[in-house]
Amino acid sequence: MDTHLQSSLDQATENIGRDRPTTKREQRAASIEALLTKALTLFITQGYHATTVEEIAQSADLTKGAVYFYFKSKANVLKALLDRTEELTVEPTIAAMEAAGKDPVDRLNAFVRSQSVIGAEKTEYMLLAILMSAEFNGSGDEIETRLTDLMARMENALRETVKVGQESGAFRNGIGPDELASVIMATNKGCYVEWYMRGGDLKGHDFARAFRDFVFDGVAART
Amino acid sequence: MDTHLQSSLDQATENIGRDRPTTKREQRAASIEALLTKALTLFITQGYHATTVEEIAQSADLTKGAVYFYFKSKANVLKALLDRTEELTVEPTIAAMEAAGKDPVDRLNAFVRSQSVIGAEKTEYMLLAILMSAEFNGSGDEIETRLTDLMARMENALRETVKVGQESGAFRNGIGPDELASVIMATNKGCYVEWYMRGGDLKGHDFARAFRDFVFDGVAART
Amino acid sequence: MDTHLQSSLDQATENIGRDRPTTKREQRAASIEALLTKALTLFITQGYHATTVEEIAQSADLTKGAVYFYFKSKANVLKALLDRTEELTVEPTIAAMEAAGKDPVDRLNAFVRSQSVIGAEKTEYMLLAILMSAEFNGSGDEIETRLTDLMARMENALRETVKVGQESGAFRNGIGPDELASVIMATNKGCYVEWYMRGGDLKGHDFARAFRDFVFDGVAART
Amino acid sequence: MDTHLQSSLDQATENIGRDRPTTKREQRAASIEALLTKALTLFITQGYHATTVEEIAQSADLTKGAVYFYFKSKANVLKALLDRTEELTVEPTIAAMEAAGKDPVDRLNAFVRSQSVIGAEKTEYMLLAILMSAEFNGSGDEIETRLTDLMARMENALRETVKVGQESGAFRNGIGPDELASVIMATNKGCYVEWYMRGGDLKGHDFARAFRDFVFDGVAART
DNA sequence: TATGAATGAGAGTTCATTCAT
DNA sequence: GATGAATGAACTCTCATTCAT
């Protein structure tokens, strides 16, 4: 039996009949997880500034002190969430584009599909990046830089692909790659926000397909 | 001679050779104008909650008290700006669509052209509506309703046009009109925000054309 | 009748039968005065850090907000008090030394007499400087510099006088002027604190005379 | 063989070739020692209130919990240090005065010499008593009493000596013994603090001699 | 012996708002 | 028409302390 599985069993055994974590490590992980999950929801529904540390703590059945014990500051809570965001949204998207090979059409395809998947599974993280970018824009805050960098990674990959596609004649010419890539990103971000704000009223499948077609038809070479 | 006219004459006399308004009415109008103009800029650059009444007042070379004298509350300043927003962005757009006749293609054309004009001339008002919608979303605030209603007027006109276009076969079918209209609005809003946040880096003409093409190609009937 | 007196009478007339200040200027002056007076007492009896803004405000029958309205921060309350301290203790002492002429014995005499007068009339301001110097020592705070500078003005004047006296043979030699001046300052500060902490038990006249003799006999030339 | 001895032998064996303590007793002693040493420095450099339990613990490479394990409270850390202070500063001084015989001049000599020695070797403990007296003065705290008592032992011995000296004609008359003793204590304390705050700038030997002469000349009988 | 998670009281500070002048 | 004094509620953050492990 492999040792990883064994240790999992040990832990499981220790925990029989309990739903509260017992070891300190588990406690820590559980508390951090609860705090981050609740903070994520609160930040995107209310905004960062409108969310109080007290609210975050209470949502996770803890006190303010616990938030500061784990994160030292409210800003650090957001930073921790942005780390996750980068890991769960930016990196998979860029990886998917890389994996798609060199053809710009394939890469754009990979971008759009990746965004659709994230939109279905990790919506909140992507939304966080978008909404916080707006909220912190022009603040001069350290977080602003963090957000700009995060979004720039995606935008750079996209712009590069657009450029290559224009050069190869696969994508429309006559419009700068910066502007074309920006409209794609704008559409992408706009759709996330629209989906979040009116999600209940919209059919996800239709909405995603419309988004996909907008991007593809929008960049297609003019004939 | 009635006293009202007399006092008007007095005021006119007083104002000879000055460029600062002196009559109470002018004073009033000038102060309100200054306050609203500065508040508009502050709300879109910093957000509503992050902007203090003190900042608004100081930007307009007045004191907090003046803000309360004219508007009774901070929320009212925003409401006044939303009144202007409706007048300057929503109404012209809807009027343009009405004026374009019954053909859905013409109407969509009118919508997109109107948005381009507003984007060039009244960017800040449109941005206010978009950014405040995000900031107040889910707040339960009275302002939320105001914003929802304001945006809904535009969206309803758009949805109706999309629907008619689909029925006539001019626009693509197979996707609900709600979803299609939402992606258009999402693209529209996304482009405003993108433009605002990266304006300096982008060529306006290219950006606007890309936006326009995205919308038209996106809604075009599939062949 | 001169206009200044007239306006004083006007104000007096306005205030007949009231003990609350009426004009805004008076209000402001009264509030600031109350706040500073109470803060002075609290800072020297409890220390700066142990004194809360709430306490200062309540002592002056105001709220915390008023403290921030006038001083912007707790640190500024102390800074305002240090301005007064410099004006009421350091400057008179240095002025007295200057006025005493060039003879070092006269100058030292002036220093000691001035300190006795201050000890009798402005004890609290002098104590503030001494106690805050100890509390902020090594803090790296901006206030630390302010305090060091303030005390240095007195110490420099004293050291210079000591030096001249040593050179003229009026004061003892064989000990550096720095060290001699420091022991004088130490005795001076020590007496202020001792007086403050045990004031009730001590006869002021005897205590002051003993202090004076300590200084004069201590610096006297060895025969 | 009794088990206690056995375990001692075991411990001795365990420790061969190490310089880190290993037995529980040694560990305990080492931890307590580290904690107290670091706390002493922190209390005099930052003050008691400005020093956090966390800082004390980290300085000693331990955690907050350890401080509470050994001392039960922050106040107890200070109390333990005050016990040491009494033992290392008050008692030697009083013992030296007793040992000097009955002559008040010899006793005062013993006091001054003892303070010079302490000033050179145990400065920090003496400073702790002086600075904490100021910080806790008027706090109503239990520690205030402890400090008052501690200082009073020294001051009483000094006052008694002064009194005897005045009665025998060796010391100046015309000033109450309380006042004279207080000025001596004030000079003493003042010099400790001055030395601590400006130590780097001053020559210890000169400073100590000036202090000594101040006291002797200050109490000398007037001729 | 000592740790690390967590608490809760209270600190300094900000800000929308009120009101007498 | 507009100011400036003042409030009070809420916010971020700190810290001595407790306790299960």
Mean local confidence (pLDDT), B88-115: 95
Asked if residue C217 lies in contact with residue D220, where contact means CB atoms within 8 angstroms, the answer is yes
pLDDT value at residue D10: 46
Interface contact B49-A47, CB threshold 8 A: yes
Shortest CA distance from B136: residue in chain A: A46
Percent of chain D at pLDDT exceeding 70 = 90
Phi/psi of residue B117, each to 5°? Answer: -65, -50
Q: Which residue has the higher pLDDT, A181 or A26?
A: A181
The pLDDT-based confidence of D20 (bands split at 50, 70, 90) is low
Mean local confidence (pLDDT), A13-30: 67
pLDDT value at residue C4: 44
- Residue among B33, B36, B8, B35 nearest B22 (CA): B8
Phi/psi of residue D66, each to 5°? Answer: -65, -40
pLDDT value at residue A200: 82
Give me the half-sphere count of Cα atoms (radius 13 Å) on the Cβ side of residue B173. Answer: 7
How many other CB atoms are found less than 10 A from the CB of residue A190? 26
Q: Looking at chain D, how many residues does it have?
A: 223
Interface test with A, best of B42, B132, B162, B213 (most A CBs within 10 A): B213
pLDDT value at residue B21: 54
Domain closes at, from C50, C72, C94: C72
- Which helix (H) or strand (E) segment holds residue B94: the answer is helix B91-99
Mean local confidence (pLDDT), A6-13: 43
Interface contact B188-A189, CB threshold 8 A: no
For residue A66, the domain's CATH number is 1.10.10.60
Report whether pLDDT(A9) > 80: no
Distance from CA(C76) to C1'(E20), angstroms, rounded: 28
Terminal-to-terminal C-alpha distance of chain A: 63
Of D49, D175, D220, the CB nearest to C210: D175
pLDDT value at residue B120: 86
Mean local confidence (pLDDT), C147-159: 96
Chain D CB within 8 Å of residue C134 CB: yes
- Residue among B69, B97, B63, B89 nearest B165 (CA): B97
B to C contact (≥3 Cβ pairs closer than 8 Å) = no
D to A contact (≥3 Cβ pairs closer than 8 Å) = no
B149-153, D4-8, D196-200, range with greatest mean pLDDT: B149-153
Report whether pLDDT(B22) > 90: no
The string of pLDDT tens digits covering residues C66-117 is 999 999 999 999 999 999 999 999 999 999 999 999 999 999 999 999 999 9
The string of pLDDT tens digits covering residues A116-159 is 999 889 999 999 999 999 999 989 999 999 999 999 999 999 99
The pLDDT-based confidence of A10 (bands split at 50, 70, 90) is very low
Cβ of B51 near strand E (distance < 7 A): yes
Asked if residue A76 lies in contact with residue A69, where contact means CB atoms within 8 angstroms, the answer is no
pLDDT value at residue B23: 78
Asked if residue D23 lies in contact with residue D15, where contact means CB atoms within 8 angstroms, the answer is yes
Distances (CA, A) of C179 to C104, C149, D10: 17, 19, 56
Domain closes at, from A50, A72, A94: A72
One domain, residues C88 and C147 = yes
Count of domains forming chain B: 2
One domain, residues D152 and D196 = yes
Among B186-195, C15-24, C161-170, D214-223, the minimum mean pLDDT is found in: C15-24
CA C46 to chain centre: 17
One domain, residues C138 and C100 = yes
Contact map slice: D 18-47 vs C, CB within 8 A:
45-47
Interface contact B182-A194, CB threshold 8 A: yes
One domain, residues A89 and A68 = no
Distances (CA, A) of C210 to A45, C130, D29: 72, 20, 47
Terminal-to-terminal C-alpha distance of chain D: 75
pLDDT value at residue C200: 82
Q: Spell out the residues 6+ positions from residue A73 whose beta carbon is closer than 8 angstroms to its own.
A: none
Average pLDDT, chain A: 89
Report whether pLDDT(D8) > 50: no
One domain, residues B95 and B66 = no
Among A165-179, C128-142, D3-17, D103-117, the minimum mean pLDDT is found in: D3-17
Amino acid at D164: V
One domain, residues C162 and C199 = yes
For residue D138, the enclosing domain spans: 75-223
The pLDDT-based confidence of A161 (bands split at 50, 70, 90) is very high
| Spatial distance between the Cα atoms of D192 and D127, rounded to a whole number of angstroms | 7
Mean local confidence (pLDDT), C140-167: 95
**DSSP label at residue D220:** B
**Secondary structure of residue B176 in the 3-state scheme:** coil
Mean local confidence (pLDDT), D36-40: 97
The pLDDT-based confidence of D21 (bands split at 50, 70, 90) is low
pLDDT value at residue B174: 86
| Spatial distance between the Cα atoms of D156 and D160, rounded to a whole number of angstroms | 6
Chain C CB within 8 Å of residue D141 CB: no
pLDDT value at residue C8: 43
The conformational region for residue C73 under phi > 0 = left, psi -120 to 50 = alpha, else beta, is beta
Q: Spell out the residues 6+ positions from residue A141 whose beta carbon is closer than 8 angstroms to its own.
A: A75
pLDDT value at residue B134: 93
The string of pLDDT tens digits covering residues A40-52 is 999 999 999 999 9
Identify the residues numbered 29 to 68 in chain C whose C-beta atom is closer than 7 Å to any atom of strand E. Answer: 51-54, 64-65, 68
One domain, residues B109 and B90 = yes
What residues of chain B lie within 8 A of the CB of A175, using their CB?
206, 209-210
What residues of chain B lie within 8 A of the CB of A209, using their CB?
175
Domain closes at, from C49, C72, C95: C72
How many other CB atoms are found less than 10 A from the CB of residue D95? 12
The pLDDT-based confidence of D23 (bands split at 50, 70, 90) is confident
Contact map slice: D 51-90 vs C, CB within 8 A:
none
pLDDT value at residue D76: 97
Distance from CA(A66) to C1'(F15), angstroms, rounded: 13
Cβ of C24 near strand E (distance < 7 A): yes
**Nearest nucleotide relative to B21: CA against C1':** F1
Long-range contacts of A22-30 (CB under 8 A, 24+ apart): A28/A70
A101-105, B12-16, D4-8, range with greatest mean pLDDT: A101-105
One domain, residues B205 and B108 = yes
Mean local confidence (pLDDT), B86-91: 96
Q: Spell out the residues 6+ positions from residue B216 whose beta carbon is closer than 8 angstroms to its own.
A: B108, B112
Q: Looking at chain A, how many residues does it have?
A: 223
One domain, residues C54 and C123 = no
The protein residue nearest nucleotide E9, judged by CA to C1', is: A65
Least Cα separation, residue D7 to chain C (angstroms) = 47
Asked if residue D175 lies in contact with residue C206, where contact means CB atoms within 8 angstroms, the answer is yes
- The subunits that touch chain A, with at least 3 C-beta pairs less than 8 Å apart, are B
Amino acid at B73: S
Token reading at B19: 């460029």
Q: Looking at chain B, how many residues does it have?
A: 223
Distances (CA, A) of B132 to A5, A93, B50, B136: 51, 29, 12, 6
For residue B173, the domain's CATH number is 1.10.357.10
What residues of chain C lie within 8 A of the CB of D214, using their CB?
183, 187, 214-215, 217-218
Report whether pLDDT(D5) > 90: no
| Spatial distance between the Cα atoms of B126 and C165, rounded to a whole number of angstroms | 79
pLDDT value at residue D19: 52
Distance from CA(C52) to C1'(E10), angstroms, rounded: 10
Identify the residues numbered 22 to 41 in chain A whose C-beta atom is closer than 7 Å to any atom of strand E. Answer: 24, 27-28, 30-31
Among C55-69, D86-100, D154-168, D192-206, the minimum mean pLDDT is found in: D192-206
The string of pLDDT tens digits covering residues B77-86 is 999 999 999 9
Interface contact A183-B46, CB threshold 8 A: no
One domain, residues A117 and A194 = yes
pLDDT value at residue A222: 78
pLDDT value at residue D199: 75
One domain, residues D159 and D59 = no
Chain B CB within 8 Å of residue A175 CB: yes
Instruction: Return the axis-axis angle of helices B204-219 and B104-121, rounded to nearest 10°.
Output: 160
Asked if residue C221 lies in contact with residue C171, where contact means CB atoms within 8 angstroms, the answer is yes
Average pLDDT, chain D: 89
| Spatial distance between the Cα atoms of B130 and D98, rounded to a whole number of angstroms | 86
Asked if residue C219 lies in contact with residue C108, where contact means CB atoms within 8 angstroms, the answer is yes
Query: With 0-12 CB in 10 A as exposed, 13-18 as middle and 19+ as buried, what is D60?
Result: buried
Report whether pLDDT(D209) > 70: yes
One domain, residues C13 and C110 = no
The pLDDT-based confidence of D22 (bands split at 50, 70, 90) is low
Report whether pLDDT(C21) > 80: no
Of B138, B210, B215, the CB nearest to A179: B210
